[in-house]
Amino acid sequence: METPVDAPMKDEHESPKWKKSIVVFVLGGPGSGKGTQCANIVKQFGYTHFSAGDLLRSEIKSGSEFGAMIQSLISQGRIVPSVITVKLLCKAMEESGNDKFLIDGFPRNEENRIEFENVAKIEPAFVLFFDCPEEELERRILNRNQGREDDNIETVKKRFKVFVDSTLPVVGYYESKGKLRKINAAKPSEEVFEAVKDLFASET
Q: Which residues are annotated as a binding site for a ribonucleoside 5'-phosphate?
A: 57, 78-80, 105-108, 148, 159
Residue 126 amino acid letter: F
Pick out the residues of the known binding site for CMP: 112
Pick out the residues of the known binding site: 31-36, 57, 78-80, 105-108, 112, 144, 148, 159, 187
Q: State phi, psi for 126 to the nearest 5 degrees.
A: -165, 170
Pick out the residues of the known binding site for ATP: 31-36, 144, 187
Closest CA to 185 of 24, 40, 27: 27
Distance CA 204, CA 22 (A): 9
Distance CA 44, CA 118 (A): 31
Cβ atoms of 74 and 80 within 8 Å: the answer is yes
Closest CA to 86 of 19, 4, 5: 5
